Amino acid sequence: MRIHHLDEGVGRIVKGVNTTVDVGVDQTRIEAGKFGNKVDKDGRPPTLSKKVKGNSTNVLYNLGMVKEQRYTAAEWAIMEGGHSLEATTPQPKKPGRIFAALTEDVKIDNKDGWGAVPWNQEIDYRGLRVKMKPSVFINLAASRNGEPPVPKVVDYVKGGGAIGAPFLQIFVDEDDSQIPEVRGHEGRSRMAAILEVHGDVPVEVHLFFQGKVNRNRHITPEFVEKIQRYLISENDKMVRGPLFEI
């Protein structure tokens, strides 16, 4: 047989069309039965699942030509759209990039930003620069008795205005036997506005200290670990951490 004759395959056997002396209309089923297989009049094996209607479901699976595959909703959507999973699935980012993405909309300017003070520019000498969620800052600062964020501050933050980093003043007793206490703050309204506009994303916060610790050079890893775990708020309540990230 020459190659161009391959398109003359038998397919479904129809009486008077492609039957022969040796091949009847039921020949496919007969031949399959010799090998212990069952097929319908069109030569197709039955479906594996009674719950699924149609004669052609699971045909390749029944023939042992493919393995059963289960897809997630996302994978089905990708296949329906004609895209590969690798090309459309976001790739994991490095931790630093993820963190930057969370805070990139909150602009910090410790010189000219709204609420900036001279000490903000000296934080690396006078205190500790951290990343803190607005909800944590608000819990540590003095209560505003449930008052909503100041509208003009919300509008400023929403418009992309830069702010000076909010800060907390923390007292540490001389023998470091007590839990450090927050005794002052600046920036509660800014943090409330950020929470409303951007959600509870970590932003730059400055920690200044009084008492035994009052300069950056006094801050040890052990001390940082301690104040990350808990602090006493301005409302004299213990707030448990983790309270911030370096």
Give per-residue pLDDT as tens, 85-123. Answer: 344 344 444 443 333 334 457 999 999 999 999 999 999
CB 44 within 8 A of CB 54: no
Burial class (CB in 10 A: 0-12, 13-18, 19+), 160: exposed
User: Does a structural domain hold residue 103?
Assistant: yes
Closest CA to 187 of 152, 214, 163: 163
Structure tokens at 105: 């909309």
pLDDT band at 31 (very low <50, low <70, confident <90, very high): confident
Domain count, the chain: 1
Rounded Cα distance, 204 and 137, in Å: 11
User: Does a structural domain hold residue 64?
Assistant: no
pLDDT band at 159 (very low <50, low <70, confident <90, very high): very high
The SS3 of residue 144 is coil
Percent of the chain with pLDDT over 90: 50
Query: What is the domain range of residue 138?
Result: 99-240
The SS3 of residue 231 is strand
Rounded Cα distance, 200 and 191, in Å: 9
CB 145 within 8 A of CB 213: no
More confidently predicted of 97 and 44: 44
Angle (nearest 5°) at CA 242 between 238 and 244: 105
User: Does a structural domain hold residue 89?
Assistant: no
- In this structure, the dihedral spanned by the alpha carbons of residues 233, 236, 240 and 243, taken in order and rounded to 10 degrees, is 0
Q: So what's the pLDDT on residue 132?
A: 97
Tell me, what amino acid is at 228?
Q
CB 112 within 8 A of CB 178: no
Q: CB under 8 Å to 216, separation ≥6 — which residues?
A: 124, 125, 126, 127, 128
For residues 21-45, average pLDDT: 70
User: Does a structural domain hold residue 87?
Assistant: no
Q: So what's the pLDDT on residue 29?
A: 74
Q: So what's the pLDDT on residue 33?
A: 73
User: Does a structural domain hold residue 94?
Assistant: no
Rounded Cα distance, 130 and 207, in Å: 8
User: Does a structural domain hold residue 201?
Assistant: yes
For residue range 187-201, list pLDDT tens digits in order: 999 999 999 999 999
Q: So what's the pLDDT on residue 220?
A: 93
User: Does a structural domain hold residue 137?
Assistant: yes
More confidently predicted of 117 and 32: 117
The secondary element (H helix, E strand) that includes residue 185 is: strand 181-186
For residues 225-231, average pLDDT: 95
* pLDDT reading at 48 higher than 60: no
DSSP 12: S
User: Does a structural domain hold residue 140?
Assistant: yes
